[in-house]
Structures are given as C-alpha cells and as structure tokens.
Amino acid sequence: MADNSNRPERPRLEPEIIPPARGRRGSDWYQDVWPPYVSAAGSTHRVYIAKLGPFGFALLMLVIGIVAAMIVLAVVGAILIWLPILAILLAAGVVFRLLRR
C-alpha cells in the first residue's frame, strides 16, 4: 500500500511536444489557413466594410422589425392552435370527472 494515499499520482509519461513542420516550399504554406481566407493562388483578400448611412440604417431596422413580427406571429399562431386543443382536453376531463361520480 502506498505510504501517502492522498497525494495525486504523477504521470508515467511526459507529454510529447511535436514541433511545426520545417522547410515548407512553394504553395503548400497556405494549407494551414482556413480555406475562405486564402485563394487557390495563395494570396489573401481584403474585406471592406462601409459605414451605414441613414437609408441603410432605416432599411436594416425595417428588416429587423419584419423578422421580429414574423417570430411574434409564429408564437401567437402556436398559442392559438393549442388553445382549442387544451379547451377540448379540459372539457373532456370535466366530463369524465362528472361521469365517475
């Protein structure tokens, strides 16, 4: 039996550290980069982001409002579908309760 069972066990093997590949040549250097950021020729591309003007902001708010309205309508529609089903189940429960007496 171990002399001190409260001490954690030390690892039996040291972790192996694998160095990065050396001596890469030619066009294979870009293979480590995520594909959308590198073209087939190995060159990178710039992404330009323009400032949002008043018309663009209004259009963005309109789209966000339309999406929010669609979500609200879907939730209200789901509630309106379940209300009659719940009313029928409640009425059936009341009828069965009255018949049991």
Distance CA 59, CA 87 (A): 42
Please report whether residue 88 resides in a domain.
yes
Please report whether residue 94 resides in a domain.
yes
One digit per residue, the tens of pLDDT, for the chain of length 101 reads 556 677 777 777 777 777 776 555 555 554 555 555 555 666 666 788 888 899 999 999 999 999 999 999 999 999 999 999 999 999 999 999 998 87
| Residue 66 Cα distances to 10, 13, 72, angstroms | 60, 60, 10
Please report whether residue 58 resides in a domain.
yes
pLDDT for the residue 71: 97
Any idea which residue has 């001596």 for tokens? Answer: 23
Please report whether residue 66 resides in a domain.
yes
The count of structural domains within the chain is 1
Indicate whether this model's pTM tops 0.85. no
Please report whether residue 9 resides in a domain.
no
Do 30 and 42 meet the contact criterion of CB atoms below 8 Å apart?
yes
By residue range, what is the domain housing residue 59? 26-100
